[in-house]
A and B are shown apart, each in its own frame.
Chain A
Amino acid sequence: QLQLQESGPGLVKPSETLSLTCTVSGGSFSTSKFYWGWIRQPPGKGLEWIGSVFYNGNTFYNPSLKSRVTISLHTSRNQFSLRLSSVTAADTAIYYCAREVVEWGQGTLVTVSS
């Protein structure tokens, strides 16, 4: 069964870049034509799609975040990553990685604060 695990700093300073990695186990990017994505959830609020990367490396981003987001696939390591630049307190959230909306990681809380 596919498992996803987010990793990265839990605290980021304002104006800096948030970087997270999702490690996928129990499956392979190279043999599956899926898309892999990042979704976030501010504390006590709803879900917001950040962006997705397809198995072939093509990316699609939420228009409201597009100027600050980069999602990359690292096939040899069975990982994909998220970079969100120029963060503010509004970017404080639980960040989930997911295979489409089918399988989800447990999420990691990232707080933006000085």
Chain B
Amino acid sequence: DIVLTQTPISSPVTLGQPASISCRSSQSLVHSDGNTYLSWLQQRPGQPPRLLIYKVSTRFSGVPDRFSGSGAGTDFTLKISRVEAEDVGVYYCTQATHLLTFGGGTKVEIK
């Protein structure tokens, strides 16, 4: 089974400052078709998860451009260039290269 390890577990951030979340996979996430099926989800309190980024770095429809994804192989990063109040929540990385697994989550909160 693929294990996704997210760091940090919690990220207190000042409004307007950047935030960065790391996701490390126990195996390469490059699929045999050449794609890397690593996505990022945001879950606001009391809400279902929402897709932000798919295939490592493609923003989903309607996602603000302050969110960006990068990485390759086994190491991936989600960055928020300037955190806004509405960004508070838990962020999960997820992979669909080998079945489906989720990282443990990173809680983004305002300092």
Contacts and interface: CB of A to CB of B under 8 A. Distances in A.
Nearest to A61: B99
B48 interface: yes
B1 A101 contact: no
A16 interface: no
Contacts of B41: 47, 101
Given A46-B92, A46-B104, A63-B1, A102 B99 contact: no
Contact of A52 (B39, B51, B100): B100
Interface string A40-82: 0000001111001000000010110000000000000000000
A82 to B, nearest CB: 15
Interface in A83-114: 96, 100-107
Contact of B100 (A37, A46, A96, A104): A37
Interface residues of B, number: 20
Nearest to A104: B48
A101 B51 contact: yes
B48 A47 contact: no
Interface of B: 1, 39, 41, 48-51, 54, 60, 90, 92, 94, 96, 99-105
Interface of A: 37, 39, 46-49, 52, 60, 62-63, 96, 100-107
